Amino acid sequence: MEKQLIDLKTFVESLPTLDPVEDWTFDSSSGYFKSKVKETIRTKKTPKNHVKAEATEKHPAQVEVYMEDVPVGKWSTVKFSGCIEKTKKNRLLEKIALLDKAIKVAREEANSIEVKESILGTNILKYIFDTTD
């Protein structure tokens, strides 16, 4: 039983937890955790001209070309996660530690008690299968 408990502890320790950077809420309709909506704007660089000096009869215009970000779309992102909360993972690990401690105490107690031979199995089977009623 102690080996199985170690395996269970290893399993729980390997469970992924929710990213603390996001603000998660449980969505009961999907059964997953859901982050808040994060909106982003997609931009496209387009060249623009800036006239530094107007053209004259003797000189051409002095123009500087620069890039301007122009919004082309808006995206909303919602993340879903099947991970567990860090607090829940810690509670599970605490329960496993308590159970491990209780099993060790029970094993130590059982090792110090003298066992009397009994025919408990026979009594149980007689009780179940006895048809004298």
Question: What are the tens digits of pLDDT across the range 111-122?
Answer: 888 877 777 777
Other C-beta atoms within 10 Å of 18: how many?
20
**Residue-wise DSSP of 47-108:** EEEEEEE---SSS--EEEEEEEEEEEEEEEE--EE-PBPHHHHHHHHHHHHHHHHHHHHHHH
CA atoms within 13 A on the CB side of 132: 3
- The vertex-58 CA angle with 55 and 64, nearest 5°, equals 35
Q: SS3 for 33?
A: strand
Beta pairing partners, 32 = 27
Residue pLDDT, tens place only, 25-72: 999 998 999 999 999 999 999 999 888 888 888 888 888 889 999 999
> Quick check: helix, strand or coil at residue 43?
strand
pTM across the whole model: 0.61
- For the chain, what is the radius of gyration of the CA atoms? 36
